[in-house]
């Protein structure tokens, strides 16, 4: 168990802020912003984040600055996620993580080249939310549970933890229950209704298809409608192979978006759902 989270003073970045947020969400201990002492680095009850020149998870030391210049881009957030056993899922399902690693270790110019965007685009994507939280974190010498900024950081860390853990559970659920129908030139994923029905029945389907390398070949999704007893039908990746306005006049279809990307049906038997899918095929 930790008794303290320590990170460097001065300017702050998303890297150490998010790393501290995760540790604060798990351990609920104070965050102090100062240079570490040798005693801090040797104390396993003190997490030293983004400073100190050591990466030693057993001692809760999470710095990356001592890595060679050609080391793959990893930052202190990467190291904390590895320590928590969440890094692989985070790299796969948090699209923002890899750019954050590049930005922190390679800088904005190299990162913009790697992303294939103009350097000015990096500034255009900056948010006043980011600026304010980072600025306030930089000004703080210490943060303790109960203080507004500390609690905000723990919200951020807990939401990230919940997202990764819930998504892994959701992916396992989809893998156990979904059917992937194969057609001549595409796939359709069908997720049958289960009891109890998940709060968000379609959640995780897109990430599941990415995890099994079927995202680009899957054209449509069929999943339980959480507002009714039937199903939702939707295009995947805006595939042109299906237009659900084609079933808008069917008696058991109570909603079809005017742009054709989604429809809702009260039908629950599989033959009828397959018939509606066939009618929607362009």
Q: Return averaged pLDDT per consecutive 10 residues of the chain, 282 residues in all.
A: 96 96 98 98 98 98 96 97 96 94 94 93 88 96 98 98 92 93 96 85 89 96 92 96 97 96 96 97 94
Report cis status (omega within 30 of 0) of the bond before 196.
Answer: yes
pLDDT at position 200 is 82
> Which whole-number Å values give the CA distances from 97 to 92, 127, 238, in the listed order?
9, 17, 25
Yes or no: say if 77 and 105 are a contact pair by the CB < 8 Å rule.
no
pLDDT at position 125 is 83
> Which residues sit opposite 48 in a β-bridge?
6, 61
pLDDT at position 227 is 85
pTM of the model: 0.83
pLDDT at position 201 is 78
Yes or no: say if 238 and 262 are a contact pair by the CB < 8 Å rule.
no
Question: What are the respective helix, strand and coil percentages of the chain, to the nearest 5?
Answer: 45, 15, 40
Tokens standing for 147?
């203080």
Where does the chain have alpha helices with state H?
14-27, 38-42, 76-83, 87-93, 97-115, 119-124, 128-139, 148-177, 205-211, 270-280
Buried/exposed code over 87-115 (b: 16+ C-beta within 10 A; e: otherwise): bebbeebbeebbbbbbbbbeeeeebbeee
In angstroms, the CA 225 to CA 201 distance is 7
In angstroms, the CA 212 to CA 210 distance is 5
pLDDT at position 228 is 86
> Following CA atoms 238, 243, 245, 248 in sequence, which dihedral angle do they give, to the nearest 10 degrees?
-110
Coil vs helix vs strand at 258: coil
pLDDT at position 178 is 95
Yes or no: say if 44 and 56 are a contact pair by the CB < 8 Å rule.
no
Yes or no: say if 183 and 272 are a contact pair by the CB < 8 Å rule.
no
pLDDT at position 124 is 86
Cα 272 from chain centre: 35
To 10 degrees, what angle do helices 128-139 and 14-27 make?
70
Length of the chain: 282
């Amino acid at each position: 168990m930790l008794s303290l989270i320590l990170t460097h003073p001065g300017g702050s970045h998303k890297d150490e802020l998010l790393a501290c947020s995760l540790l604060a969400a798990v351990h609920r201990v104070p965050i102090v912003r100062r240079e570490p002492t040798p005693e801090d680095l040797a104390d396993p009850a003190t997490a030293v984040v983004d400073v100190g020149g050591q990466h030693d998870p057993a001692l809760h030391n999470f710095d990356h600055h001592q890595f060679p210049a050609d080391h793959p881009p990893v930052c202190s957030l990467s190291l904390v996620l590895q320590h928590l056993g969440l890094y692989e899922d985070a790299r796969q399902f948090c699209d923002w993580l890899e750019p954050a690693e590049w930005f922190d270790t390679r800088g904005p110019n190299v990162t913009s080249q790697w992303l294939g965007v103009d350097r000015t685009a990096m500034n255009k994507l900056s948010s006043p939310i980011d600026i304010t939280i980072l600025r306030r974190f930089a000004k703080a010498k210490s943060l303790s549970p109960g203080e507004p900024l500390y609690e905000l950081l723990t919200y951020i860390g807990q939401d990230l933890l919940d997202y990764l853990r819930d998504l892994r559970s959701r992916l396992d659920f989809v893998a156990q229950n979904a059917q992937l129908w194969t057609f001549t030139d595409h796939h359709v994923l069908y997720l049958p209704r289960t009891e109890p029905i998940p709060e968000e029945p379609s959640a995780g389907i897109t990430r599941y298809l990415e995890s099994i390398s079927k995202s680009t070949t899957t054209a449509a999704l069929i999943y339980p409608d959480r507002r009714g007893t039937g199903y939702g039908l939707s295009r995947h990746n805006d595939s042109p192979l299906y237009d659900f306005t084609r079933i808008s006049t069917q008696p058991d279809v109570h909603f079809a978006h005017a742009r054709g990307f989604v429809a809702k049906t009260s039908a629950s038997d599989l033959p009828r759902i397959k018939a509606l899918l066939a009618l929607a095929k362009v």
